[in-house]
Structure 1
Amino acid sequence: MSEFGRGSPQTLEFLRTRRSHPSVTMSAPGPDDAQLTDLLTIAARVPDHGKLAPWRFITYRAPQGERIGAFLSELYARKNGPLDEAQTDKERTRFTRAPVVVGVVSQAAEHPKIPIWEQQLSAGAVCMTLVSAAAAAGFASQWLTEWYAFDEEAGRYLGLQDGERFAGFIHIGTATQPPVERPRPDLSEITSNWTETD
């Protein structure tokens, strides 16, 4: 059998057992600049109809997270009323839990040949590939959105330009505890064989 036909049992086992880690359980260290560049390079290797690269990255480091948290806390209170201590702490620490957060920005736009939906799916593939690459590199990782991913004012503060939206925020750090497995779908309930109908 040729080298290209052997497959990789280790990779399959990694994919079977990969698990996200809650960002609140992460600590330093995160990837350094060289490691992060490598992870983002891997993440960009996804299906991309038309080679549009309809996505980009914004990186946030924990020291910047304190300023971001202060802004998000004020914005959330302005839109939802006074916050109690627990909610204030939750908003203030959203970008400091993991040492590195990567915003994956979808730049999907009208195109004569490539549907917007396909461009958005490509951004989702970037998120999942980055989560998997980070885990394969030995880091804890989690893909989150939260309310600020969909808030126009928060989006501008976090770096969005006109017509863009966040596909997600990938939190990357070091695990402080084992991840907890969660129930997975029953394959028999989500799989069917196509049959022709009249």
Structure 2
Amino acid sequence: MSSVTDFLLNRASEPRLEAPAPDASTLDRAFACAARAPDHALLRPWRYLVIEGDGLNALGELLAAGYSDMRGKTDEKKLEVIRNKAQRAPMIIVGIAAPKKHQKVPEVEQILSAGAGMSFLALALQDAGFGVMWRTGELVYNPVVLKGLGLEKGESVIGFLYTGTVSCTKPAVPRPELAEFVARWPL
């Protein structure tokens, strides 16, 4: 098989990330890869927000506000934990599904296209030598967070792609046996 297959078989999510983050040229190339995702009818049902520097502090405050909205009154210690989630990497890329009304392309296909774009983006960044970790969690669905990120009606966050330089390697994650998730049909 090709070097692409070898690369995919060895890729891993990296939770421990530090500066530097990708430079503008590397990021542009990675977004060009994201735009190669399967896209029925060329609707481009995705968009991205790049957050770094002081934006990470603002994201932390937004996450804390969303958490307070969900939980009501919370203690400052818990809010600080939530704020610090935005400091896990020097760059966070927010992937947004932005489906368009179309008679032949259902919304689910468009959301899957946005997810594929996010995957291509992650792979391109890893190929450039950076680590990534795709994270979600209940806060990415919170209305306060969605409004604060500027999402339009019908849009949704598909994930936060934490991006940076890998600070330390982690143990390999066991992968499932193919027979656990692959079957021939008809059975």
Q: Same fold judged by TM-score > 0.5?
A: yes
Q: Pick from 143, 147, 151: which aligns with 2:138?
A: 147
Judge conservation of contact 1:139–1:173 (CA < 8 Å) in 2: yes
Q: Taking structure 1 as reference, are residues 126 and 74 closer, same or farther at Cα in structure 2, changes over 3 Å only?
A: same
Matching residue of 1:70: 61
**Deviation of the 1:124 alpha carbon:** 0.8
Residues 29-178 of structure 1 aligned to structure 2 (within 5 Å): 29-80=20-71, 81-83=73-75, 85=77, 87-178=78-169
Judge conservation of contact 1:62–1:95 (CA < 8 Å) in 2: no
Task: Count how many residue pairs are aligned between Structure 1 and Structure 2.
Answer: 186
SS state of the match for residue 66, structure 1? helix
Instruction: State the one-letter code of the partner of 1:171.
Output: Y
Matching residue of 2:8: 15
SS state of the match for residue 157, structure 2? strand
**Deviation of the 1:84 alpha carbon:** 5.5
Q: Which moved more, 1:71-80 or 1:105-114?
A: 71-80
Q: Which moved more, 1:88-97 or 1:156-165?
A: 88-97
Q: Which moved more, 1:75-84 or 1:100-109?
A: 75-84
**Deviation of the 1:78 alpha carbon:** 4.2
Q: Which runs of 4+ in 1 moved over 3 A?
A: none
CA deviation vs aligned residue, 1:106-143 (integer Å, no higher than 9, x gap)? 01243101111111110110111111111111001011
Q: Pick from 147, 151, 170: which aligns with 1:179?
A: 170
Distance 2:69 2:135 in 1: 23
**Deviation of the 1:16 alpha carbon:** 0.6
Judge conservation of contact 1:73–1:88 (CA < 8 Å) in 2: yes
The gaps in structure 2 that reach 5 residues or longer are none
SS state of the match for residue 35, structure 1? helix
Judge conservation of contact 1:20–1:179 (CA < 8 Å) in 2: no
**Deviation of the 1:75 alpha carbon:** 3.3
Distance 1:195 1:71 in 2: 49
Larger Rg: 1
Superposed CA RMSD: 1.7
Distance 1:151 1:181 in 2: 33
Matching residue of 2:182: 191
TM-score norm. by structure 2 comes to 0.92
The percent of aligned pairs where both chains have the same amino acid is 32
SS state of the match for residue 159, structure 1? coil
Matching residue of 1:3: none
TM-score norm. by structure 1 comes to 0.87
